[in-house]
Amino acid sequence: MATLSEAYTETPLLLEHIIPIDFDSFKEVPQSHSWPRSGDESPRRMLNFEGDHFSVPAIDLESPDAIEMVGHACKNLGIFQVTRHGIPSSLLREVESQAWQFFSLPARAKVRAARSPGGATGYGVARITPFFNKFMWHEGFTMMGSPLEHAREVWPHGYRKFCKVMEDYQDKMKALSERLLAMILKYLGISEHDIDWPRLRSNPSSALQLNSYPQCPDPGLAMGLAPHTDTSFLTILHQNDSAHGLQFHREGRGWVPVLPMDGALVVNVGDMLHIMSNAMFPSVVHRVIANGKRHRLSIGYFYRPPMDFRIGPIHGLTQASGQEVAARFQSIMVKDYVQMKAKNLDKALSMIRIG
């Protein structure tokens, strides 16, 4: 099995778990999208951080202390922003503008790019949807490599620019992910040998996800994207700087906003880095709240090792300086973990936890 689609074929989706509603046609939030007004799942339950101005750190990747700062942020929070990351702002603007072009289409045009029931790529609701009773105020477009097949359905003659920008962006994101990975390994004192670096880089099963959160008539009632951790090794997110909504969960503080910062990219630890770091780095729980004033857009790149790569606590971490540290996870093939997550969502990590 080589592709992500193949990993997902065992958990095919119902049509209602693929096609989003036509948000433009709703003047109020329908029952299907109304989350409880109180309780743990309420979009309103948040923010006991207010007053202490806690925010995620912004790290200048060109700074001499960058490795130390990236390592600390992975360890303490599992999420941070990066500046001077080398991604041209013109490319960020272009990928955003292509994403707008797609999401601004009428609903009947967007469904031409709909994900197939067993597929991984294309247009549709969030993959985590079947795990929740209510739907989210969200639509997405997932790509792995060239989006040609789907783009051609939408724009039979005008797909080239969209494809080129998306491919170019994925190439740049892959390079930035590898740069961050190399910094993280340095921080951990792990050599590239220890993790079979050439194979890790050879055929990653990464994905690019365009997220659209339409302006919502009653944001206290709707959920942009329900709480989850990312399955990825790490995720790099570009958020449109005029609309916020992303929050991460912090023990003892509750939901903390990740405010957009012009030109900065958000980086978060995913399950696979959590596993490889032997739980030293938390896989950060995050969600998106609905926005009542603006239509929000974000572009996430999920960096993942190849499907047949085995992930587990890095040997050098469990054998640190002659001292044996117990491995906290069984090792597992990436494809098996992706499948496990697709079936069990937040239970997946505990299924491979030792002890």
Question: Which residue out of 127, 250, 287, 296 is catalytically annotated?
Answer: 296
**Per-residue binding letters, 235-254, with ligand OGA (x by CB under 6 A):** --x-x------x--------
**Are 143 and 211 contacting, i.e. CB atoms less than 8 angstroms apart?**
no
Q: Indicate whether 211 belongs to the interface with ligand OGA (CB under 6 A).
A: yes
> 252, exposed or middle or buried, with CB in 10 Å at 0-12, 13-18, 19+?
exposed
Rounded to 5 degrees, what are φ and ψ at 153? -65, -35
Q: How far is the CB of 287 from Ni ion (least distance, A)?
A: 8
Q: Given the complex with Ni ion, which of 246 and 352 has the nearer CB atom?
A: 246
Q: Given the complex with ligand OGA, which of 283 and 298 has the nearer CB atom?
A: 298
Of positions 230, 267, 275, 291, contacts Ni ion by CB under 5 A: 230
Q: How far is the CB of 326 from ligand OGA (least distance, A)?
A: 30
294 is catalytic: no
User: What would the two tokens of residue 113 be?
Assistant: 């790019």
Nearest residue (beta carbon) to Ni ion? 230
The alpha carbon torsion through 237, 77, 280, 71 (nearest 10 deg) reads 70
User: What would the two tokens of residue 281 be?
Assistant: 């780095």
Closest CA to 134 of 37, 246, 217, 232: 37
**Are 290 and 282 contacting, i.e. CB atoms less than 8 angstroms apart?**
no
Nearest residue (beta carbon) to ligand OGA? 298
- What is the total count of residues that contact ligand OGA (CB under 6 A)? 11
Q: Indicate whether 225 belongs to the interface with ligand OGA (CB under 6 A).
A: yes
Angle at 327 between CA 319 and CA 278, to 5 degrees: 90
Bridge partners of 297, per DSSP, are 212
Q: Indicate whether 288 belongs to the interface with ligand OGA (CB under 6 A).
A: yes
Q: Given the complex with ligand OGA, which of 122 and 300 has the nearer CB atom?
A: 300
Specify the 3-state DSSP secondary structure of 236: strand
The residues binding ligand OGA (CB under 6 A) are 209, 211, 225, 230, 237, 239, 246, 286, 288, 298, 300
Active-site residues: which are they?
296
The residues binding Ni ion (CB under 5 A) are 230
